[in-house]
Structure 1
Amino acid sequence: MAETVLELDDLTVRFHLRRGDLTAVDGASFSIERGQTFGLVGESGSGKSVTAKAIMRLIPAPPGEIPRGRVLFEGSNILDKSDAEMRALRGRRIAMVFQEPMSALNPVFTVCDQISDALRTNLGLSKKEARERVVELLSLVGIPSPQKRLDSYVHEFSGGMRQRVMLAMALSCNPNFLIADEPTTALDVTIQATILELITGMIERLGMSLLFITHNLGVVAHACDRVGVMYASHIVELGDKREIFARPQHPYTVGLLNSIPRLDGQAKYLTPIAGSVCNMMDPPTGCKFHPRCSHAMDVCRREIPRLKEIAPGHLAACHLHDRGTA
């Protein structure tokens, strides 16, 4: 039986803002096994990045709070750990590649200084040892002539190279769990493919587990083993990649799949999902997707559907399955 590395149980994240309370993640539950790549997919604003930051315990308080739920990493609840214990955990055992390198990297320090800082703090390496290790890491992620790029600043790298630096920093202390938050966003298609191949290759080579956050189902199809579909703070579908792509069970997942360009010529036009993501400060009652759903029933407007098993290992949160009409 495969070992579970990370398990989310009813995770809820809320922000108390001047305009009111906003629930960014509402009862998220899923698990990731050792060596597995899990894709968390959904439109912008669905709660994917907040979920990742909650796992890393990076939700600012105030205004944020985690009122309920558990984040179990290797059997231990991260939410119960002290700040000192979390500082020891981040980098060494759990690492994260953030969405925008120019925001995550410090423009006034060289690349070597920034990666070395993590190595010296977490592994106790000397300045010389850390510098040698940085050369190895930059070479590992495919940066040409790494010895010559050690003392370069972030603005001297292209977008794809900055993302490689972020990956090198995340891998610097040999963590066994990696979170990649939309690492291919804002990169051209060729560079996206290169970064994606690099990340998946590193995961296989180092035997790590990966939480891959994206809005691109094409990336999910290529890189992930299991998939969680997120909409307006809720996990609405969960299962094996092949099962979800072959037999999607939630109307939102169906809409996402219908909006993917295809190369086989079967569809002349893409089919967009009607409407737009709901206002999370004033969400609709019941199922948050019902204003955009062509299958909406009265019960959808009244009650929030719960995740239920439709097939072995395949779960969906939709009232259609309560009526046997899916």
Structure 2
Amino acid sequence: MRRKELEELLKRTKEVLEQGRALKQIIPASSYLELKAAWQDHLHKRPLPRLSPAVEAVVKYAVEHSFNVTNSHLAWPGIKPEAVKPSSHYDPQVVPGAEFRPLMFASKPTSPILRVQKEVFRRVLTRTKGVFVYPAMGFDGDCVPAEAKFVDISPDGPPMPPFHVAAKVEYVQKKAEETTPNEIDAAKKKLGDFKNTVLVLKGIQSILSQRDLASFIERVSPTHVMAMETPASGFPGRTIGFPVITPELEQTLRNTGFVEKTGDYFSANERKLLEEIHALARDHFAWGSGHFPAVRVKIYEKRIKA
């Protein structure tokens, strides 16, 4: 995707999220039960009852743009409501006075935020022509360019249905901190002969200590690092570390010989739009699944020794 095309996609995505923010502002928390019932009717393909204008607008928006609405996971087949732990982050019935977030992110490739994430990966692929080493890739296999090649390092292996993988992925079924350089290299060679290796930090940096992360970077031996941050800020039932680009992470990358080159990959206007999309998604979405998009990104290149 060329610069002009990417800018247009980013502008359209920003407009979509601004529409969602406006809907959040007009729908009261008192509409919670009506909204939840209407969304369950939609998921089960039942005729929708007569709805209040605000609820009708939220349902229409979520359907059009591949989002969910609050507590929609209660309607999943086989899930008993009593088995689900709602999050006070978006459920006013759990903690009175909690902020009501009617829109919930859905892990669908057609979501505008995940379409942007896919194009972020594509831009890096176009520039580096490298193989991606993406520990704990999980469900992102369906939200990346199909022409890209990935090594997923995780004890979990391939994602379970209904999720599938669009790109070519080789799996190293071990924890990142236990994986050897030979295992990583063997997986890369199965995908082809690549001059560049792009290490994707989208999640693993919230699990490993800085010392373990530095050791992992040395074992991967990447030429580039793609550090990503999610706008997600809540999780049902428990706390979890979210992927963040912290000062400590950036210091670790500098200590391991990397220098930031984001400006060589994305124009100033593209970076501005990506930040605005990140802020909008963080502002008004509830996060009710274990899969989070990331559009805030920094690219690092290995410093070439003189």
Structure number having the greater helix percentage: 2
TM-score normalised by structure 2 residue count: 0.30
* Structure showing the higher strand proportion among its residues: 1
